Amino acid sequence: MSYTDQELVALLLNENGIHRLPRLEFAELMRKKPYDKVVGKRIIFIDLKYWVSFRMSLEDDITIKLEEKILYKSIYKNLLQLVSNNIAVCVTSDSILTEVEKMPFDRKLETAKIMDSLQVVVVLNGLNACTFEYINIDLITAGKEPIDQYHLSSVFEANRFLSAVTLKKMENEPDLLYNIMYDSMSQMTVQEYLKETNGDFYDPSEKFAELVNDTKSKDTTKYSYEELLIQGLASQSKSLNKLINYTPISKANPLEHLSLYIECAPFLYLHSAILAAINIEKARTVRKNDFYDLSHSCIGVGYADYFFTEKKFHHLLKTKPIDCTAHYKCKLYSDPFEILNVVVNLNSQI
């Protein structure tokens, strides 16, 4: 998004505007903006399957049956009503945006158009979540105050590396211009974001599937679910420690602090729990798309009120040994008829 000439002049002339703040103080305001947008609203996290189905239901697409078109169009229209009445906010995630990137350009933008029509301006940021969850576990076990408000971002900041490089280019600008440009980019729509990042992404899904399947075939040791869960948490902590170059101030042992991980690190916990549940099924083969379903599930279950997801992962998450509904408030649905019932009921509360 860019300002009109009139708007830009007004911002430059406003001596008391927030854009006159020092850039670090202004950046903190920008960081809190997504949280202001969800206050008092139900957070509905929608998997890619449903975004694509909404798009197809509004197109002259003969590959989708008429009854399915009617069903998905009804869900979509009810979501529009929920958003317009400020009952709910529809969100996407950094992992879903990365998955959309794999689509042909025209389909990508048409899918983004549906997201924008539902005013998707808030992103559940999995990369931020796992990073700060790890830091928070360390801080809490050391008796320190944890960091709050870390899992939401603007669409522009869904790709941490892109936003960091973009802001780096502006670092020599005066604070006023830096803040105005930062504010402008923070209002970027999903369509604008996908045009900006077109082709500029790394797809780790195939490598992920190869690694998991290879490990399962070579390691013949019989582990319990609990052992795999603890191993996963320890491995994630070690990897994050290297990735973010963080020096721990405590010795947080996942085995001793499992309840703390469940409560304060839902992304990390669910990531390990899902992989543990998959790996105890020796005959189960991991597909590359499981990488994205895994990422969506970790952030969605941990931080949304409703998660409209794939049937396969819906079953995995809600049944033992994971049984995520025993730990988190998020309500999971994969049946479109049930989803329609949910959004209609939410609209009836107006």
Q: What pLDDT digit, counting tens, does each position of 41-96 carry?
A: 999 999 999 999 999 999 877 778 889 999 999 999 999 999 999 999 999 999 99
Query: Is pLDDT above 80 for 170?
Result: yes
Asked if residue 345 is part of any domain, the answer here is no
- Give dist(CA 278, CA 286) in Å, integer: 8
3-class state of residue 228 by DSSP: helix
Edge-first strand listing for the sheet containing 152-154: 152-154, 122-124, 88-93, 42-46, 306-308, 331-333
Do 187 and 46 belong together in one domain?
A: yes
Asked if residue 255 is part of any domain, the answer here is yes
Q: What is the mean pLDDT of residues 9-14?
A: 68
Do 56 and 185 belong together in one domain?
A: yes
Position 269 scores a pLDDT of 97
Asked if residue 54 is part of any domain, the answer here is yes
Asked if residue 343 is part of any domain, the answer here is no
Do 159 and 26 belong together in one domain?
A: yes
Do 185 and 215 belong together in one domain?
A: no
Asked if residue 339 is part of any domain, the answer here is no
Position 313 scores a pLDDT of 86
R_g of the chain computed on alpha carbons: 21
Asked if residue 139 is part of any domain, the answer here is no
Query: Is pLDDT above 90 for 199?
Result: no
pTM, two decimal places = 0.92
What range does the domain containing 224 cover?
205-334
Nearest alpha-carbon partner for 255 in 280, 291, 228: 228
Domain count, the chain: 2
Query: Is pLDDT above 80 for 250?
Result: yes
Query: Is pLDDT above 60 for 1?
Result: no
- How is the chain split among helix, strand and coil, in percent rounded to 5? 60, 5, 30
Confidence of residue 3 (pLDDT cuts 50, 70, 90): low
Position 93 scores a pLDDT of 97
Q: What is the mean pLDDT of residues 206-234?
A: 86
- Is the pLDDT higher at 16 or at 343? 343
Do 19 and 87 belong together in one domain?
A: yes
The mean of the pLDDT values for the chain is: 90
Do 278 and 165 belong together in one domain?
A: no
- Is the pLDDT higher at 252 or at 202? 252
Do 46 and 81 belong together in one domain?
A: yes
Do 117 and 245 belong together in one domain?
A: no
- Give dist(CA 6, CA 27) in Å, integer: 24
Helices 290-303 and 311-318, axial angle in degrees (round to 10): 50
Do 178 and 319 belong together in one domain?
A: no
Do 115 and 186 belong together in one domain?
A: yes
- Give dist(CA 91, CA 119) in Å, integer: 9
Percent of the chain with pLDDT over 90: 67
Position 121 scores a pLDDT of 96
Asked if residue 136 is part of any domain, the answer here is no
Q: Tokens 């082709």 map to which residue? A: 199
Residue ending a domain, choose from 176, 196, 216: 196
Do 180 and 285 belong together in one domain?
A: no
Asked if residue 134 is part of any domain, the answer here is no
Do 120 and 89 belong together in one domain?
A: yes
Strand partners, 44: 90, 306
